[in-house]
Amino acid sequence: MQSPDELIDDPGPRDACGVFGVWAPGEEVAKLTYFGLYALQHRGQESAGMAVSNGERIMVFKDMGLVSQVFDEPTLNSLNGYMAVGHCRYSTTGSSTWSNAQPTFRGTAGGGLALAHNGNLTNTDELEAWLATSVEASEVPRKDRMDSTSDTALVTALMAVYADNGLKAAALEVLPRLQGAFCLVFSNEKTLFAARDPQGIHPLVLGRLERGWVVASETAALDIIGATLIREIEPGELISIDEAGLSCVRFAEADPKGCLFEYVYLARPDTLIADRRVHAVRVEIGRTLALESPIDADMVIPTPESGTPSAIGYAEASGIPFGLGLVKNSYVGRTFIQPSQTIRQLGIRLKLNPIRDVIEGKRLVVVDDSIVRGNTQRALVKMLREAGAAEVHVRIASPPVQWPCFYGIDFATRAELIAPGLSVDEICRSIGADTLGYISLEGLTASTGISGRKLCRACFDGVYPVPIPAARARQMGLEQSLGS
């Protein structure tokens, strides 16, 4: 099964997952979760699932595919309860198989445990060893986690081992031992929990319904179900929600290092992060890009849709008219049809098609969010020239991606990235553009309004806020010792 992005051998940056949780007696929580996951579909398109509790038992339904492919009306109507945990997945740890779809589920001493995870852990070897010791000591069968290869299953198994005194106690035992990026939403039969890593690398927010509470990866998921944003869940915080209300406890000191790439690409433009709308940040990125990398041209066009806000900002700051020169197929998503070689060669046209009447004879500024391997931009430049563009000047709303991500974004190994070892001029020649310009790291950071000390910028500068095990670093093509 291949997505249209994979047809051009350049899937680009993809996030690990979207998580959602709701505690709302009297509401149709399965349908709320469905719409919440629908709003988070961009964060994971391989599988989707939810676990619903009626207070006595937890029912789990999950499968491969998009949210709309996994769930239908009869399925949602059968998932009755007042609390749910939902997930949509793109794999970074563990293969893309049904057994790795989430939420995971385990039986514990106090009942069931359903858990969903966004992010990626960096100390899984250490946790594996701890689990082996813990299982041996507690006589819990090791088979409890052997049906999955994901770090999520590892966390679920550890919590199950330590759940003798309740799930909250188990979480407070396990969470301080986790390293890397994690936004967790989990529950037993009666209580909903959510936790965020001490660095707060990826977003996780708390919302209020008239008759309950919601947690989600992005504020856009709150908007779609009519929930009111209360606040972000703090880095290093564990919250629990039950009939007694909301309670919060800190399991680690906060050391904020929010992912800078959320602003560039990952988050929806209508989402709020750190009290700023992502769309506004991206427009400001475009303005900064125009000041840093000006060019004489006739029209600014975006690579839809992630390049659109920055293209708007570039046009505003440069005075060059904004135009829509590319049409995106809104129905392109994950496909279950194996394409023929002829279709495969069409590549990017499955996603984008130029409007010849708009671009013919024009000197174009094409604004895109990032360049990872360069195949997409190479195909795009070629397509625009074939459609009659006089010049193609590519402008990128992020600095060169130089380093892989260990925290939940599927960047390639360093050897597969186009930027390491090549100058900007060499990359420009590689993709066939007339000129190429990137925003600076300083300019991108300033556009967010957040201090660089509170951001993870590792994919751009190689400074990792959570140390990476040496063996994993070597595997990803990083020879030197890493860490902040």
Structure tokens at 180: 């890397």
Active-site residue numbers? 17
Closest CA to 449 of 234, 326, 273: 273
Closest CA to 73 of 28, 42, 40, 41: 28
The angle subtended at Cα 8 by Cα 392 and Cα 368, nearest 5°, is: 40
Sign, CA dihedral 221-225-226-227, equals negative
The residues near 289 (Cβ < 8 Å, ≥ 6 apart) are: 310, 313, 314, 367, 395, 396, 397, 437, 439, 443
The residues near 189 (Cβ < 8 Å, ≥ 6 apart) are: 53, 55, 56, 57, 58, 111, 112
Cα–Cα distance, 478 to 476 (Å, whole number): 6
Coil, strand or helix at 22: strand
Coil, strand or helix at 330: coil
Cα–Cα distance, 239 to 260 (Å, whole number): 25
H-assigned helices in 319-440: 341-346, 356-359, 375-386, 424-431
